[in-house]
């Protein structure tokens, strides 16, 4: 029974996050400097969908949108940015890529390495 509930929840989260889209980042807005949106789904403590690497240039705006089946906290190392993850609802962390390098993005309590953020000049 628990597996069936998890499967239904996973399917619902995938639909909510729009997993049918390509791996290329989605842009929010129509301006030249629109934010890159990267969509992730976490179910049962594992990443179900989303890129392993998010790339940006300094000055670009990046949005990391996470839908998780449990409440947690999203954390971007190096930028010390966090966002509260509410179970079953998309949560968005927006930042301006200002520090060059490669930074881990994790689901904090779970310890899940969600992705890496690579920022280039």
What percent of the chain clears pLDDT 70, i.e. is strictly above it?
73
What does pTM read for this prediction?
0.77
pLDDT tens digits, one per residue of 73-92? 999 999 999 999 999 999 99
pLDDT at 32: 53
Domain boundaries, the chain: 2-120
- Name the residue among 58, 20, 61 with its Cα closest to residue 37: 61
pLDDT tens digits, one per residue of 34-55? 899 999 999 999 999 999 999 9
- Name the residue among 23, 14, 109, 25 with its Cα closest to residue 71: 109
User: Which CATH architecture is the domain 2-120 placed in?
Assistant: Sandwich (2.60)
């Amino acid at each position: 029974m628990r597996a069936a509930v998890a499967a239904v929840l996973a399917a619902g989260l995938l639909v909510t996050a729009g997993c049918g889209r390509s791996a290329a980042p989605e842009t929010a807005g129509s301006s030249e400097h629109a934010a890159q949106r990267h969509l992730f789904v976490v179910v049962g403590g594992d990443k179900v969908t989303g890129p392993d690497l998010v790339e940006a240039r300094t000055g670009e705006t990046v949005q990391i949108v996470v839908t998780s089946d449990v409440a947690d906290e999203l954390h971007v190392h190096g930028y010390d940015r966090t966002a509260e993850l509410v179970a079953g609802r998309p949560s968005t962390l927006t930042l301006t890529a200002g520090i060059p390098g490669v930074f881990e993005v994790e689901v904090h309590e779970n310890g899940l390495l969600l992705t890496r953020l690579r920022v280039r000049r």
